[in-house]
Amino acid sequence: MAIQKYEDMGNLELDIIREIGSIGNGNAATALSAILNTGVRMALPEVVIMEFNEALNYLGSPEDVVAAILVEMSGEIEGIMLFILTQEFAAEIIGKTIGTVEFDFLEMDGIKNSVLTEIGNIMISSYINALSSLTNVNVQLAVPQLAVSMLGGILSIPMATMGINSDRIMMITGKFEVDGKEFNGDMLLLPDVASLNVLMKKLGVD
Amino acid sequence: MVKQVSVGIADMKLTRQEGVLITYALGSCVGISFYDPMIRLGALLHIMLPEKTNVADANVFKFADSGIQETLRKFYAFGGMKGRIVCKIAGGAKMFEMKGPGGLGNIGERNIQMVKKVLMREGIRISGEDTGANYARTMQINVLNGQVTIKTVGKPERVL
């Protein structure tokens, strides 16, 4: 049975997506760990299907200031990958890579912007490579883009993308632990509905 | 304490006499406020996309076209008069410099254009606007006096 909307996902389908998220998160964490040269762990992903306002409140408060690296996916899987970081998490990454102590991500210069964008890009690429080789789907990734703004504003982009045909969005989440410290960051895979059918078909679930 | 009513994404709220209507963190979305000073009637709409293409979509406030129409229908039903409406808009930012094939990058701009087109068609003039650029905005209207304020990160509050 084809999935027409996110709510059609049964337990089996949700488990499969969670497993894909788990492998993606593992690869992203390994990539970050190699860059920072420290232990990085990611919690098991949650697969959440929520109405827009509910999804926003699930991730935080709309006015929370965050940095986000966004990559558009196209090809057999369409949608968005978002890597969201709080000021604290961004400071940890910048501190461990270029060694800056004072850090305010509302006043980031070119180098810090590039470092964050590139790290986000590497993590997202690792995630998608794992997904793509596991399921044998072809995914193209667009050039990564960085924004530092309110969480609500950042999420308006995936919501507007999925919102044309749906009143809900699906997020496969992942929380981070770096060097034993927990960080409020999120690695979000936001696929559109059609892509879910592609994934299920490739994995032999009908 | 002033009564504060929060307007979600793809949502609209209307109130009379007093209270504050607030919608948080407009990114590519657009907030549209309507106010009739004579009877102190205020409405705040938060749209996400320009056009309703699927007639079966029940969520009218998600789209600029159906959202503005439905808001005005309610506004007039509550006694608001077209000739007295003070309308202000905010949002429609370009959050990411996206160059991908999806054309997502300019969703904010498309929202703004559609909002302006629909308002013009409805014969309503826009008397204040804070749109575009690349940052999110929180918009609120005080129904007591019709004052519309915009909050952004790292900038002073702006009264439209």
Contact A154 B27 (CB under 8 A): yes
Alpha carbon distance B25, A19 (integer Å): 33
Asked if residue A12 lies in contact with residue A200, where contact means CB atoms within 8 angstroms, the answer is: no
**H or E element: which one contains A20?**
helix A11-36
> Chain A residues with CB inside 8 Å of B26's CB?
152-153, 156
Distance separating alpha carbons of residues A185 and A107, to the nearest angstrom: 20
For B144, residues 6+ apart whose C-beta sits below 8 A from its C-beta are B2, B17, B18, B19, B40
A176 CA: distance to closest CA in chain B (Å): 24
Interface ipTM: 0.89
A60 CB-side CA count, 13 A? 21
Residue B100 amino acid letter = G
The structural domains of chain A, ordered by start, are 6-200 (3.40.1550.10)
Going residue by residue through chain A, which has 206 residues, state the pLDDT in tens, using 9 for 90 and above.
588 888 888 999 999 999 999 999 999 999 999 998 888 888 888 899 999 999 999 999 999 999 999 999 999 999 999 999 998 889 888 888 888 767 788 877 888 889 999 999 999 999 999 999 989 999 999 999 999 999 999 999 999 988 887 888 888 887 888 888 888 788 899 999 899 999 998 888 86
Query: Which residues of chain B neighbour A53 with C-beta distances below 8 Å?
Result: 8-9, 11
B87 is catalytic: no
Check CB contact under 8 Å for A160 and B9.
no
Report d(CA A49, CA A199) in Å as an integer: 17
Neighboring chain B residues of A162 at a CB cutoff of 8 Å: none
What is the token pair recorded at B120?
A: 């013009």
